[in-house]
């Protein structure tokens, strides 16, 4: 049976890489993004690569928007709740993979809202995993470190290209693997969590950070 993967934030970065990976693995992918032009372009790109991809415009931070496209946090919360309801109603258990961050367990100056939100994603992952286990639905999360996506560009500056990033994280070895991740390296772990090889993972938040959280 063909699996269907709903990928939020699918127009760019980790979401696009995840849609590509799951699509190449044989899933029908539905990209959801609040940017319709980028979303349509991303779906077209994937189709041109042989992936069965479609796009739905939606803002996952809007409860009504999430409900309106029958799919199934705040973003992660609304989506997980709606998708879990749909799975239970259809007696078609699936898998939910949230995208957290290593910031979820750390303090960082000027990042209180982001870090707090990611902490909430971790706890949502654990609690939903407990609540949905009896329905056969597994819930886990990835916690990336630095990833080379458009999100790394702040005020026109790519933080991964700054002397500070190079000296501290690369040359200084704060990231033991001495580089940022490519989006596909996060996508492959998401694909693992979404697949049968992760059948005994429940409520895990998996760091995918080149070792950064070990040295933090
Ligand atoms: N890039 C990193 O270094 C990094 C590190 C840790 C965690 N993350 C997390 O990974 C996830 C993806 O980030 P990315 O680096 O791929 O970013 P990105 O900017 O490349 O892509 C994010 C996509 O999400 C879409 N989006 C944003 N808000 C939305 C909403 N409310 N509804 C629907 N779509 C929305 C954007 O339009 C964009 O296409 C985020 O949750 C981010 O916090 C990223």
pLDDT digits (tens, 9 = 90+) for 33-92: 999 999 999 999 999 999 999 999 999 887 666 655 843 357 788 888 889 999 999 999
Q: What pLDDT, on a 0 to 100 scale, did the predictor assign at position 168?
A: 97
Pair 175, 216: CB distance under 8 Å? no
Residue 155 lies in a domain: yes
Find the domain containing 166 and state its range: 98-216
pLDDT of 153 > 90? The answer is yes
Distance of alpha carbon 182 from alpha carbon 95, whole angstroms: 24
CB atoms under 10 Å from CB of 166, counted, come to: 13
**Ligand 1 pocket residues where CB is under 6 Å:** 8-9, 11-15, 33-35, 38, 58-61, 75, 99, 101, 144, 146-147, 149-152
| Any domain includes 75 | no
Task: Tell me whether residue 26 is in a domain.
Answer: no
Q: Is residue 105 included in any domain, yes or no?
A: yes
Structural domain includes residue 124 = yes
- Given ligand 1 and candidates 21, 42, 122, 151, which is best to mutate, with the most ligand atoms within 8 Å of its CB? 151
pLDDT of residue 72: 38
Q: Report whether 102 contacts 213 (CB < 8 A).
A: yes
* Number of domains forming the structure of the chain: 1
Look at residue 67 in the predicted model and tell me its pLDDT: 57
For 85-97, write each residue's pLDDT tens digit: 999 999 999 999 9
- Provide the CATH number for the domain around residue 132: 3.40.50.720
Pocket-testing residue among 6, 15, 148, ligand 1, by greatest number of atoms within 8 A of Cβ: 15
The protein residue with its alpha carbon nearest to ligand 1, atom 19, reads 151
In sequence order, which residues have a C-beta less than 8 Å from that of residue 55 and are 6 or more positions away? 10, 11, 30, 31, 32, 33, 36, 39, 40, 42, 43
- For residue 37, the surrounding DSSP H or E stretch is helix 36-48
Catalytic residue among 77, 114, 169, 200: 114
Lowest mean pLDDT among 5-19, 32-46, 73-87, 99-113: 73-87
CA distances from 189 to 11, 117, 144, 157 (A): 19, 22, 10, 28
- Average of per-residue pLDDT across 16-25: 98
What is the distance in A from the centroid of ligand 1 to the CA of 1?
Answer: 30
Domain annotation covers residue 104: yes
19 in a structural domain: no
| 83 found inside a domain | no
């Amino acid at each position: 049976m063909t699996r269907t993967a709903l990928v939020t934030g699918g127009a760019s970065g980790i979401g696009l890489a995840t849609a590509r990976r799951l699509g190449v693995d044989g899933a029908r992918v539905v990209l959801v993004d609040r940017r319709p032009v980028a979303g349509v372009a991303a779906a077209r790109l994937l189709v041109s690569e042989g992936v069965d991809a479609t796009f739905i415009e939606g803002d996952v931070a809007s409860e009504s928007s999430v409900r309106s496209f029958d799919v199934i946090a705040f973003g992660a919360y609304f989506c997980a709740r709606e998708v879990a309801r749909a799975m239970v109603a259809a007696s078609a258990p699936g898998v939910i993979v949230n995208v957290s961050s290593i910031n979820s367990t750390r303090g960082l100056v000027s990042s209180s809202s982001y870090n707090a939100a990611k902490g909430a994603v971790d706890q949502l992952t654990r609690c939903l995993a407990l609540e949905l286990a009896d329905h056969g639905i597994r819930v886990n999360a990835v916690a990336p470190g630095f990833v080379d996506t458009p999100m790394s560009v702040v005020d026109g500056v790519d933080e991964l290209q700054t002397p500070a990033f190079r000296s501290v994280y690369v040359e200084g070895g704060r990231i033991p693997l001495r580089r940022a991740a490519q989006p596909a390296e996060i996508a492959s772990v998401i694909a693992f969590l979404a697949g049968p090889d992760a059948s005994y993972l429940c409520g895990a938040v998996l760091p995918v950070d080149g070792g950064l959280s070990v040295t933090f």
